[in-house]
Structure 1
């Protein structure tokens, strides 16, 4: 199972501030590099990430291809939260968001484990690079918004 882990130092912010930013659902479409459309009763303007909460959204891959996700928030703690895909465009997807005190700010880390539908071949050819790009842009956007 591939693992992608990216960390960014967010200056002059506490771990609590960074985690609170992540738990506020209004920030999800702001940091995501591609269009997100909520489905069902999900209101991104009034969404707080909480353990046990399940929601659906459409992610427009490459801003062109619709992929519907059903996500469950598995766990929320003082310095992390974990979401997991129940249904979607991959065989498996688990995303850990972690915050820790860093020198002059907060170290924010995304750790993503996933399995592509096409197996190792499709991961190497398409999915690995796509995931890396998505999360690099997310980190850049978070850094800009939290400065």
Structure 2
């Protein structure tokens, strides 16, 4: 199985607790996802605080207007340090997304480490090279810009 790993880092001028409260709330996921993905959290408990074992379900349209159901599980949570979500059902063969938070002078540094694999063997590899890798990067670029819009940019 061919897997891929992408890392994203962003610094924000907010406190660690404010960053944690926002990013660890499933209800905020749609706010930082591109509108064209039609991302909707469908879990009944999306207003709850995140906890290990929490199942979050979504409807999403990642490519070509195709609507998919997606289910992730929050597998690990260390409050104000990190949480990890893993896909249980959805478009990827494997999805492991680490969200790390670290207080720094004047703000918080957030690091995402995303490891994923696509189904369909060689066809999945071709799809990754042609569009999936760029789509994932586009989603994180959108998120980076949206987070700056919501919280401001970090000037040091």
What TM-score comes out, normalization by structure 1 length? Answer: 0.88
Q: 1:123: which partner in 2?
A: 128
**Does the Cα contact within 8 Å between 1:6 and 1:110 map onto a contact in 2?**
yes
After alignment, is 65-74 or 120-129 more displaced? 120-129
Unaligned runs of 5+ in 2: none
- Indicate which of 98, 105, 108 corresponds to 1:106: 108
- Indicate which of 147, 151, 156 corresponds to 1:146: 151
Provide Cα deviations, 1:90-119, integer angstroms capped at 9, x if missing partner. Answer: 101111111112342111111110001233
- Indicate which of 82, 89, 92 corresponds to 1:90: 92
Provide Cα deviations, 1:4-37, integer angstroms capped at 9, x if missing partner. Answer: 11111102x1222211111122211101113222
Shift of 1:69: 0.7
Q: 2:137: which partner in 1?
A: 132
Aligned CA RMSD, in angstroms, stands at: 1.8
Q: 1:74: which partner in 2?
A: 75
**Does the Cα contact within 8 Å between 1:35 and 1:63 map onto a contact in 2?**
no
**Secondary structure at 1:30 match in 2:** helix
**Which has the larger share of strand?**
1
Q: Please give the alpha-carbon distance, in whole angstroms, between the structure 1 residues aligned to 2:82 and 2:90.
A: 23
**Does the Cα contact within 8 Å between 1:97 and 1:109 map onto a contact in 2?**
yes
What TM-score comes out, normalization by structure 2 length? Answer: 0.83
Which has the larger Rg? 2
**Secondary structure at 2:144 match in 1:** helix
Distance 1:99 1:134, change over 3 A: same
Q: Please give the alpha-carbon distance, in whole angstroms, between the structure 1 residues aligned to 2:48 and 2:64.
A: 23
Count of residues in correspondence between the two structures: 144
